[in-house]
């Protein structure tokens, strides 16, 4: 990918998706009684409030990037165990909704007027929102999916689950690194059976699947 496409289209699309994702966590937590994110200035559309330095650098030079997780104190929630499900779900759901809105705007208002590189921002916004929602729904600690599934577990089951999760993040990082640095598609092999139907399902709903044929 050339620098212009990376700097003006890919990175802004990922930053927008990450900011909306984290903002959704904080806003939902506030609605359910926890104002921690609000007090720390995280209920903001300003990317500087959410971006992590290393995560931002990785947007340019690595296989992925990340934002600072929004702080949530479950003790302040009205029903901590149940409400944490909604707080965790809010992030991926916000990306699904944002992807739909961008696809709607593109197909109904902009598709006939822009072409070539100009449409890359729309396509990246759609694709990365779908990707970020999928990635965060994986039931792997500390991703949102882990907080969602833990909300349905009894205490003893949750303890066993968290014990089993001790080394999973490290294994996950090794798999990502192997794919990125050594071109060994370990992670793709594991996730592709889940990612492909998930991606195609959402792109079908968005009405833009034809734009991504071959991916």
Instruction: Calculate Rg over the CA atoms of the chain.
Output: 18
Instruction: Assign 63 a pLDDT band (cuts: 50, 70, 90).
Output: low
Nearest to residue 99, comparing CAs of 190, 215, 188, 198?
198
Q: How far apart are CA 80 and CA 151, in angstroms?
A: 9
**Residues 72, 151: contact at Cβ < 8 Å?**
no
Domain boundaries, the chain: 3-212
Nearest to residue 105, comparing CAs of 91, 126, 88?
126
On the CB side of 113, CA atoms within 13 Å amount to 7
Instruction: Assign 64 a pLDDT band (cuts: 50, 70, 90).
Output: low
Q: Does the CA dihedral 205-211-214-215 come out positive or negative?
A: negative
Q: How far apart are CA 151 and CA 71, in angstroms?
A: 18
Task: Dump the DSSP string for 25-61.
Answer: HHHHHHHTT--HHHHTT-SSS-GGGTB-HHHHHHHHH
Alpha carbon distances (Å) from 60 to 56, 73, 106, 204: 7, 32, 26, 30
- By the 10 Å C-beta count (0-12 exposed, 13-18 middle, 19+ buried), 210 is classed as exposed
Instruction: Assign 215 a pLDDT band (cuts: 50, 70, 90).
Output: low
107: left (phi over 0), alpha (psi -120 to 50) or beta: alpha
**Would you say residue 95 has pLDDT above 80?**
yes
pLDDT digits (tens, 9 = 90+) for 119-130: 888 999 999 999
- Lowest model confidence (mean pLDDT) among 183-187, 190-194, 203-207: 183-187
Q: How many residues does the chain have?
A: 215
**Residues 133, 144: contact at Cβ < 8 Å?**
no
């Amino acid at each position: 990918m050339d620098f212009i496409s990376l700097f003006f289209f890919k990175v802004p699309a990922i930053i927008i998706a990450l900011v909306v994702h984290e903002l959704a966590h904080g806003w939902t937590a506030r609605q359910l009684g926890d104002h921690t994110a609000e007090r720390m200035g995280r209920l903001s559309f300003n990317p500087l409030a959410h971006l992590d330095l290393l995560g931002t650098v990785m947007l340019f030079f690595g296989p992925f990037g990340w934002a600072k997780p929004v702080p949530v104190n479950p003790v302040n929630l009205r029903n901590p165990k149940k409400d944490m499900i909604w707080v965790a779900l809010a992030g991926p759901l916000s990306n699904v909704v944002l992807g739909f809105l961008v696809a709607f705007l593109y197909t109904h208002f902009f598709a006939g007027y822009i072409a070539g590189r100009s449409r890359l921002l729309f396509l990246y916004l759609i694709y990365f929102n779908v990707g970020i929602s999928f990635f965060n729904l994986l039931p792997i600690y500390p991703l949102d999916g882990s907080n969602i599934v833990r909300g349905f577990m009894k205490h003893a089951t949750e303890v066993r689950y968290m014990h089993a999760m001790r080394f999973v993040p490290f294994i996950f990082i090794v798999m990502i690194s192997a794919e990125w640095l050594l071109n060994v598609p370990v992670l793709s092999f594991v996730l592709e059976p889940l990612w492909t139907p998930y991606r195609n399902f959402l792109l079908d709903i968005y009405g833009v699947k034809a734009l991504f044929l071959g991916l």
